[in-house]
Amino acid sequence: EPDEEAPAEEVAASEPEAPPAPPAEVRISPIAKRVAAKLGVDLTGVVGTGRNGRISKEDVEAAARAQGLLAEESDEPPAFEVIKLTGTQKTAAKRLQEAKQQIPHFYLDADVQTKRLAKVAKRADVSLNAALLKAMGMALEAVPEANVQFVDDTLHRYAKADVGMAVATDRGLVVPILRDVGGASLADIAAAAKDLAVRARDRKLVAADLEGGTCTVSNLGMFGVDRFQAIVNPPQTTILAVGRSVDRAVVDDDDVEVRPVVSVSLSCDHRAVDGALGARLLAAFRAAVESGLEGCE
DSSP 130-167: HHHHHHHHHHHHHSGGGSEEEETTEEEE-SS--EEE-E
pLDDT digit string (tens) for 12-55? Answer: 344 445 556 665 567 888 898 899 888 888 888 888 888 888 89
Q: What is the pLDDT of residue 9?
A: 40
CA distance 69 to 75: 19
- Strand 177-178 relative to strand 167-169: parallel, antiparallel, unpaired? unpaired
Whether pLDDT at 87 is above 90: no
Buried b / exposed e along 197-207 (16+ C-beta atoms within 10 A): bebbeeeebee
Residue 284 scores a pLDDT above 90? yes
Decide if 36 contacts 43 (C-beta within 8 A).
Answer: yes
- How far apart are alpha carbons 234 and 93 in whole angstroms? 13
Distance CA 204, CA 61 (A): 51
Instruction: Give the pLDDT confidence of 236-277 residue by residue, as tens digits.
Output: 999 999 999 999 988 877 788 899 999 999 999 999 999 999
pLDDT band at 74 (very low <50, low <70, confident <90, very high): low
List Cα–Cα distances, 146 to 40, 70, 150, 169, 282, in angstroms: 66, 61, 11, 29, 10
Of 151, 166, 180, 165, residue with least CA distance to 269? 151
Q: State the pLDDT confidence band at 3, using cuts at 50, 70 and 90.
A: very low
pLDDT class for 121, splitting at 50, 70, 90? Answer: very high
Model pLDDT, residue 227: 96
Tell me the range of 5-9, 64-68, 119-123, 253-257 where mean pLDDT is highest: 119-123
Instruction: Please write the tens of the pLDDT for every residue from 194-221.
Output: 999 999 999 999 999 999 999 999 999 9
The answer to whether 105 is a known catalytic residue is: no
Considering 54, 171, 199, 270, which one is annotated as catalytic?
Answer: 270
Radius of gyration of the chain (CA): 32
For the cut 60, the answer to whether the pLDDT of residue 186 exceeds it is yes
